Structure formats: C-alpha cells, structure tokens
C-alpha cells in the first residue's frame, strides 16, 4: 500500500494506492513529509486533480478499486455516471440502482465513498435540491459544486 498526501485548494488530501489501483482519496489533516515522492499512479492522480481544480478536467481517467459491499459499489458506479456540473438526488440514485425506496441507504453509501471527488458523491443532493451530508463537510461540497458550475 502506498500513500500520498497533497495540499489541494480545499485542504489536504490523502491518496492511497493498492497494487495498480487507487483505493482511497479522503480529506485529511496531514501533509507529505519533506522529500517524499508519490508513485507514478499517485502522481497521475494528483495531476488530474490539479487539472480538475483548475477547471481543465471534467472526467478522471484512473484505475479505481473502491472496496465496499455490492450495494455500495453499485451506488458508487451510479455516481460516476452523473455528468460533470449536474446533480442527482438520493432518490434518483436509489432508482438508478434498482432500489427506489433505498434513498437513505444511498446516503450511507455516499458517506462511505472511499474515493471522494473522483467518485463524485458531492453531486448528490437532497430531494428539495438542498445540500445534505458530505464526509468532507458541506462547505467543501458547495465549493466542489460551484467549481463545476464555472464557465
């Protein structure tokens, strides 16, 4: 397992690689030690995130391997189908995964999303369109959505 910490525009991010895949991207409170170097995959992930934050990238091209239950993985796959700059409700995601009454479970799967930003759980909003829950904090969720609305 390889780790890399990077200070993004929204705060420090911790990226984790296992084998040839990215398995985790979370907000954290740690910065990289002086002199450390990321693996080529983690450097590529950082580069794509830098492009995303600069408004130059709308989709990621990285090998991902999120670990979770079959239901969680189906939700995370549905999240990746939400186009850049758009949102979906928890109910819409529940319907998309064939469990129309499971909007609360979808919220739980979003909360457990191990690869934030790249698997865009920030694009999921409440039924009224209000921002609800985000493991990175609602201020970061609002900032990510605002970033995706920039011309």
Of the chain, the percentage scoring pLDDT greater than 90 comes to: 78
Long-range contacts of 134-137 (CB under 8 A, 24+ apart): 135/26, 135/27, 135/111, 136/10, 136/26, 136/27, 137/27
Do 92 and 126 belong to one domain? yes
User: What pLDDT score does 34 carry?
Assistant: 65
pLDDT at residue 52 is higher than 70: yes
Assigned domain for 62 exists: no
pLDDT in tens, 2-48: 988 888 999 999 999 999 999 999 998 766 666 678 899 999 999 99
Query: 19 and 89, same structural domain?
Result: no
Q: Which domain holds residue 112?
A: 70-149
Q: Is 14 a catalytic residue?
A: no
Catalytic residue among 14, 37, 110, 121: 121
What does the pLDDT read at residue 33? Answer: 65
Nearest-angstrom CA–CA distance, 97 and 80: 12
pTM of the model: 0.92
């Amino acid at each position: 397992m390889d780790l890399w910490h990077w200070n993004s525009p929204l705060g420090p991010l911790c990226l984790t690689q296992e084998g040839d895949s990215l398995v985790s991207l979370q907000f954290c409170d740690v910065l990289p030690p002086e002199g450390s170097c990321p693996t080529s995959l983690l450097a590529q992930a950082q580069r794509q995130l830098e492009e995303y934050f600069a408004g130059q990238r709308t989709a990621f091209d990285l090998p991902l391997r999120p670990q979770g239950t079959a239901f969680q993985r189906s939700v995370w796959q549905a999240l990746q189908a939400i186009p850049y700059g758009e949102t979906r409700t928890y109910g819409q995601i529940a319907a998309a995964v064939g469990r129309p009454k499971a909007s609360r479970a979808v919220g739980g799967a979003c909360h457990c999303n191990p690869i934030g930003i790249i698997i865009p759980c920030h694009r999921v909003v409440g039924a009224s369109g209000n921002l609800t829950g985000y493991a990175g904090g609602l201020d970061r969720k609002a900032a990510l959505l605002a970033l995706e609305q920039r011309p």
